[in-house]
Amino acid sequence: MKKTKSVLLSAPYLAWMVVFTLVPLGVVAYYALTDPATGVFTLGNLRNLGMYLPVLWNSIAYSLVSAFICLLLGYPVAYYIAHCRQTAQKFLYMLVMLPMCMSFLLRTLAWVGLLQDTGIINTMLAKIGLPRLRLIRTPAAVVLGMVYNYLPYMILPLYATLMKIDRRLIEAAEDLGCTPVQTFCKVVFPLSMPGILSGMTMVFVPAVSTFYISQKLGGTDTVLIGDVIERQFKQGNNPNLGAALSLVLMLLVFVCTGIMNRFGGGEEEVVV
């Protein structure tokens, strides 16, 4: 009796999500298929997309590299936090979360201040008599910006899975004669796979679509797909091409996360 009634509670939600997630995507598709000047049906925007393949490829490459670096840097941190005392864990967790609550625009701007030719790092180098380095407006600077901004998104899910791993499994492995390295490779790492995958997705998705980081830290040749979309809407007065590019970006992300989930699902079953 109660069950059937409470089912009705989900109806407004379903309606809301259809109206504000599916319908907007329909509108995006509508814009993508119409001409910016005349508003009539056209495939012109889609035909123009080929030109943006290099940009798309760039975005994927940068964000994949960033995701892997985040994993490399984030794993030891998450592991360390997960093995701290309760109080320290809570405090460190907070310190990882805190940057996520602060304006990422200003934090990126601070990196500009650090890296630019007349910036803090180069001024220090010059003071101790070393030559100035070309730091900003390089692909590495963009990757740095991405890693910096999205590292917490890697650490938090990793920490959550590492926390859940049953300590007795590790002890058992050690009792059975595993070296610490073997224990890590054969027990801890496979068990943390769900955390790794969700961390990778949580870094990859915002990184592949970012537009601010590359504008500030990248050069004129490090253009990412997010920059192009933003520019078409805010400056180029061609929302239709912007819409077409958004659709491509969305498909790309769904395919990538789909692959990761499929891959992750398989792994999990093996583990269980």
Partner 1 sequence: MKRANRIITVLIFIFLYIPMVVLVVASFNTGKDITQFSGFTLRQYQRLFQDRSLLGLLGNSLLVSILASLIATVFGTLSAVGIHNLNPKLRKVAMTLTDIPMTNPDIVTGVSLSLLFVFVGTKMLGQRNSLTFWTLLIAHITFNLPYVILNVMPKLKQMDASLTDAAMDLGCTPLQAFFQVTLHEIMPGVVSGAIMAFTMSLDDFVISYFVTGLDFITLPVEIYSYTKKPIQPKIYAMFTLLFLLIFVLMTAMNLIQLAADKKKVAARGK
Partner 2 sequence: MKKFISALLVVCLAACLFTGCGKKEETTTIYVYNWGQYIAEGDDDSIDVIAEFEKKYPNIKVQYSTFDSNETMYAKLKNGGITVDVVFPSDYMIGRMRQEGMLLELNYDNIPNAKYVDDSYRGLAFDPEDKFSVPYTWGTVGIIYNSKYVDEADVTGWELLWNEKYAGKILMFDNSRDAFGIAQYLLGYSVNTTDSAELQACTDKLAQQKPVVQQYVMDQIFDAMENEEAYIAPYYAGDYLTMVEENPDLRFYRPEDQGFNIFVDGICIPTCAKEKEAAETFINFLLDPEICAQNLDYLGYSVPETEAKQYLDEELVANDIAYPSQEQLRNASSFDFLPEETSREMESLFMTVRNG
Stretch 224-243 residues interacting with partner 2 (CB under 8 A): 227-228, 231-239, 241
Q: Which amino acid, 116?
A: Q
Stretch 103-122 residues interacting with partner 2 (CB under 8 A): 116-118
Taking CB under 8 A as the rule, which mask of x and - marks residues 117-146 in contact with partner 1? Answer: -xxx--x-----------------------
Q: Which stretch binds partner 2 (CB under 8 A): 20-28, 125-133, 150-158, 223-231?
A: 223-231
Q: Which stretch binds partner 2 (CB under 8 A): 6-14, 51-59, 170-178, 260-268?
A: 51-59
Residue 145 binding result from partner 2, partner 1, none, given CB thresholds of 5 to 8 Å by partner type: none
Q: Which stretch binds partner 1 (CB under 8 A): 44-52, 99-107, 129-137, 169-177?
A: 99-107
In angstroms, the CA 44 to CA 32 distance is 9
Buried b / exposed e over 98-127, threshold 16 CB at 10 Å, is eeeeeebeeebeebeeebbeebeebeeeee
Indicate which single residue of 32, 33, 34, 36 sits in contact with partner 2 (rule: CB under 8 A).
36
DSSP H stretches of helix in 83-179: 86-101, 104-115, 120-127, 139-164, 167-175
127: region left, alpha or beta (phi > 0 left; psi from -120 to 50 alpha):
alpha
Stretch 160-219 residues interacting with partner 1 (CB under 8 A): 180, 201, 205-206, 208-209, 211-212, 216
Closest to partner 2 by CB, 190 vs 236, is: 236
Q: Which stretch binds partner 1 (CB under 8 A): 5-13, 40-48, 186-194, 264-272?
A: 5-13
User: Which residue is associated with the tokens 């460190």?
Assistant: 92
Shortest Cβ distance from residue 257 to partner 2 (Å)? 26
- With binding defined as CB under 8 A, does residue 75 bind partner 2? no
Q: Which amino acid, 33?
A: L
Cα-based torsion angle of the residue sequence 260, 261, 265, 268 in order, rounded to the nearest 10 degrees: 60
- With binding defined as CB under 8 A, does residue 38 bind partner 1? no
- With binding defined as CB under 8 A, does residue 13 bind partner 1? yes
Of the CA atoms within 13 Å of residue 42, those in its CB half-sphere come to 17
Residue 98 binding result from partner 1, partner 2, none, given CB thresholds of 5 to 8 Å by partner type: partner 1
- Helix, strand, coil percentages (3-state) for the chain, rounded to 5, are 80, 0, 20
